[in-house]
Structure formats: C-alpha cells, structure tokens
Amino acid sequence: MNSNSWEQRGVEVIRGLAMDAVQAAKSGHPGTPMALAPLAHVLYTRILNYDIGDTLWPDRDRFVLSAGHASMLLYSMLYLCGFGLELDDLRNFRQLGSNAPGHPEKGHTPGVEVTTGPLGQGFANSVGLAVAEANHRSRFGPELCDHRIFTICGDGDLQEGVSHEAASLAGHLGLGHLIAIYDDNMITIDGSTDLSFSHEVESAFVAYGWHVLEVGEIANDLDALEIAINEAIAVEDKPSLIVLRSHIGYPSPKFTDTAAAHGNPLGEDEIGIVKAIIGLPTDEMFTVPSDVLSEYRISGTRGEAKRLAWMNRLSELRASDKKLSNEFDACIDQSGLPGWEESLPTWEEGSMLATRVACAAVLDALVDDVPGLMGGGADLTGNTGTALKNAEVFTAENQSGRQIYFGVREHGMGSVMNGMAEGGLLPFGGTFFVFSDYMRPAVRTAAMQGSKVAFVWSHDSIAVGEDGPTHQPIEQLASLRAMPGLCLIRPADANEVAAAWRVHINGDGPTAIILSRQNLPVLPGTDALSAQGVAKGAYVLVKEPLAASGSEPDVILPDVILIGTGSEVTLCVDAQLKLKELGVSARVVSMPSWDLFAASSDAERAEVLVPSVPCLSVEAASTFGWARYAHDSIGIDTFGTSAPGDVAMRHFGFTVEAVVERAQALISNKGI
C-alpha cells in the first residue's frame, strides 16, 4: 500500500469498523466494505470536494453507494470525516433508532445523497444527478455548477436491467461528470458470478458510449486508485466506468473471495485473526485512534476554501444578474419564481380536451416561471402530455435543454428522475399508466426519500380502448394509493390538472398525476373551485338542491353522494341531473386525491362526505379500498377488453343509467 502511516492505519480502521458493526448487529454485509476500504479512503480524503461545514453545499461532489448493502463503508466515512454520525450509531448499526440503518436512506443519515438498497437504483440515480449537474452548468455557468458524481456499483447493480437503461441514456447524453467505479469482485450471494453472468461489462459500456478504464488489481494501492480516478475526471465528453478488481472479505484468511463474506458476520474468532493481520487490537471493538480520527476530520474540512469561494461567486451573481440568480435559486429550492401561479392556465366550462392535453398546456405555461421543470416521456412524450413545445431538447451537444427524451426506458426514467430531483431540478416523466408497473421500485424510493418528482401517467382506464387489457390499467390506482409518501391525483378535467401541478410544485415530495386519453368536458365550477378543492383532495362540485322556499333549514341533506375521480366525475354530474329529474337529491363530489383528503381534518372531510348520507363511488378501476369512503362502488374488478373506449366503458357499466340505478338502490337499502 503506497501511503503514509496514518492513511494505512485509517484504511484498517475502516475495515475494523465494518467487521465490528456487522458482528454487533449479527446482521449485515462486511465483505465489500473490507475490500473497498482503500477506495473509500481515497475518495473522501483525496478526491471528493465537500465541506462538513455545509454538507448541503449545492456545488459539492456527490457520492452514491449504489451497492447499498455495503452501507458500513459509507457510514464509516461519514463518522470519520465528521458528517454527524457518532460512534454509537455504528455500535447500533441496523438497530432501532440508529442513524446507521441497514441500507443508506436520504434524510435519515446526514451525508447520504440518495436512498439505495434495491440494486441498480443508486446507479441510475447517479445518472440523474449528472443530468442535473450538466443542465445547471450549461444554464448557469461552471462558476456556479462544476462538480462530479461518483458512484460505487457492484455485480448485483450491473445485473439489474435498470442500470443498463440508465447507462445507455448516460452515454447517449454525454454526461462527462459521471464516474462509476465497478467493484468487480466476482461474487454474489449464490456464489461465483460465473454461475449466471458471463458477458463483458467493459464491452457493454463501451457500446453505450462510456469511457472505460480497466485498472485491475489495484484495490489496495491508494496512489494507483487516485491516479485512475483523476484520469476519469479528465474525460469531459462521456461518462467513465472504472473497472476495479477487488477481493471481497480481504484480508480474511477464511472468507476472502467467498460468498459467505457478502452477507454474514465473520464471527469473533475470524475478526480477531483479521485484526491481528491489520494491526488493530484484538480485544477491542470499534477502535478509532484519536490521531487517525483527527486526520479524517481535517479531510472533512478540505473543501472549505472552495465552498467559500463559490459563495462569493454566488453573491457576485446576485449583485450583477438578479434574473439569473433568481432562476438558480428557484432550481435549488425546487420552487417557482415569485408569482409563478399566475401563469397557470384556466379553461372555460364546456371546453373539450383530454387531461393529458391540458397537462402539456400547463407545462408550456409554467416552463419560464418554474426554472427547475425538466422532463419528457418514455418514448410517449406527445402522447402523455409531457412535450414542451417551446423548450430546447437536452442533448450531449446542448445540455441546457429542458426537454429530455428518455426513450423506451420506463424503469430507468423513474430512477433517473429521482436523481434529477436530488440534484436541484423538478423532473417530470410520462408513460401510460399501466406501465407504471415498470417504474414501481423508483416510485417507492422516491416516496421513501421524498424526491420531488412528478410521475405523469396517462391513458388511465379501460377508455384506452382498442389496445386491450394489456394496456388498460385496473389495479394500479389501488396499489399506488397504498404507497406511503406518494401523493396521487387523478384530475377530473383541465382545471383540475392545473390545480394538480399547483399542489406538486408547492409540495415537498413525489406526485403521481393520472391523465385521460379521451376528451373530457371542462365541468361547471372547476375554474373557481378546483384550486382549493384539489389541494384538499375532495370537494363538493355539485351541491344538492336547496330546500323549498321558506322551509327550514335553508339547505337539506342530500339523499345520496356520488363520488367520482377523473373521467367518471363527468358521469356523476350527468347522473345527478337525471336523479334530480326523478326527485332524488344528489351531491357530486370530485375526489382527485385520497392522500390529500386523508390529510384534511375530520371536520373538513365531514363537510364533503356527510357521515349520515350514503355514498356511491364511481371509478373505472378496481373497487379495492373504496369501502373507506363509499357504501357501494361502481368499478371494474376484472381485466379490460379490446374495444373502442366508449364501447368498453358501456360494456363494463359506466353509464348514467347504471349510476342512477345503483344510487337508487343504495338509498333504498339505507345500509350505512
């Protein structure tokens, strides 16, 4: 190992912490942190630009541990370098209340940039971080944005398909500030990688358009590691992959290069043997010599001068170019410019347009006033309402563009958007709602870490029509409503679409906006009611008739409440009129978001859904879950059919007549 004395001792301290934490927890993955301790040391002491004086400095280098199972590698560095983790957190690794959970979680542990664990997600997040960096650098100049994104990935990451979707996109876009280090240890849980893996990663990444460095057996050579990383940093026009041959579990005599080192404690006897080899006390746990810790803490402040210089440049920009600095601040804050909401369009009652068309109009109206907006579709940009007709395209040659074409890469798109959000953009990405299934791991991690991403899903029901059951979402609404942290909104018309975007931009986490393929009428009252109504999750769109003149009270309770979402709100409005002709008093409630409605107070919910009045839900999707709000439900609990959209809707009973009949039956039943 080419290093001075403290560095070599520091590497062994990292190995000791990894072994001890996993042993104390009786759970975890010690082998990779042991093997990559020199690499982590080089990154945090020689390469990364960061400053523990402000761990959220916008122009810091980003480090993503895509191989999140090796979390003790990251936690050791965050403790040693002074990010705020304490030694007690490592002692309580994987235990209740510890800031060192099993896999890295953004927002839980200081210094963790993204939530990793599901393999391949962190790699794809890194691509998104690199998109954000390139876009900011091109728009605001390298004086404000000029950092790198480093990620460590393993065989598991690169066997997952999402990493290859993201890698292909990264090469196409020429993301030169992205550097991935592939830990080629040839081991997975099942055993040697040759059980299931024989393609050449290097050749694949060259084909994707990456610069590839095969550095071989230098995992324990600090100087060689630094040289290789700096060579990758020097490449500006394409992302770099460093292929590093390491030996999992090194230097354990028993477990080096074995699958057992991946996910099991080494055991006290073997840990004692390893500590004797690397020069740590064999009768102590969590040994960190004070002089070694002091050196790491100095490394943690190494970027202070660069951060202060950056702050001075930002101050100069604010003095010289207020417009540009305001746009930069809005990007970093993931907000709009002052007064941005005034740009939201409205539509007149009776206008006919699909909510996906309205979505495109909203985005076009906001693109100048919400500088962080950037996105597109997974080869369905025009189809999903995610086209920006007045924006340039983000390409390798023009990285200032705001329209990005993700290609047929739904899984990769979702994960890349998460990284874009964590890098200071407001990303949006569209595909057909049924293909949200491809994106679910990314949506889940977005919800877990609060990434401010807009998942735009169109073609939201059996009204998709002739494409048939494979393209007609049924269970997706119910399954995504069950996901904590995701705000799902299914607008009834164009005005509710504008309101949904208001909710998202004013919010602080991911939003799913579910849109129609078919034209829908702009409903009476949504121009005035939808802004506040959508924000509350549900609102009274059509009130029940007033009592006869002179009677008391002035307003009577309805006989029934019709609850609709999306396109079915129109059906409820039409059914209300028919019920009125039949002498039945009905209220129509538009409920675009269960999540927002659940967050309202009990009193607010009772004003919308009166507890003593029977409720009928109408939604062209699974009825699962509607018992929470409705006493009866019109829905679809089978897969769809191939037929024109209006024919399919009638076939499954989404007609005025069916709603009227079920409402009357519910009133007669009074079983509430």
For the chain, what's the residue count? 672
Helix (H) or strand (E) run with residue 359 in it: helix 355-366
Catalytic residue among 105, 113, 133, 410: 410
Cβ contacts of 544 within 8 Å, gap of 6 or more: 555, 556, 557, 558, 559, 585, 586, 587
Give the whole-angstrom CA distance, residue 512 versus residue 595.
11
List C-alpha distances in Å: 245 to 215, 365, 385. Answer: 8, 51, 45
Q: 182 pairs with which residues across the strands?
A: 153, 243
| Residue 271 per-residue DSSP state | H
Cβ contacts of 309 within 8 Å, gap of 6 or more: none
Q: Where are the beta strands (DSSP E) in 16-160?
A: 62-65, 149-154
3-state secondary structure (DSSP) of residue 471: helix
Q: Is 410 a catalytic residue?
A: yes
Give the whole-angstrom CA distance, residue 217 versus residue 215.
7
Give the whole-angstrom CA distance, residue 325 versus residue 320.
9
Question: Under a CB-based contact definition with an 8 Å cutoff, are residues 180 and 240 in contact?
Answer: yes
Q: How far is C-alpha 501 from the geometric centre of its chain's CA atoms?
A: 17
Q: How far is C-alpha 442 from the geometric centre of its chain's CA atoms?
A: 5
Mark 246-266 as b/e (b = at least 16 C-beta within 10 Å): bbbbbbbeebbbbbbbbebbb
Cβ contacts of 140 within 8 Å, gap of 6 or more: 324, 327, 328
Helix (H) or strand (E) run with residue 432 in it: strand 426-432
Which residues are designated catalytic?
410
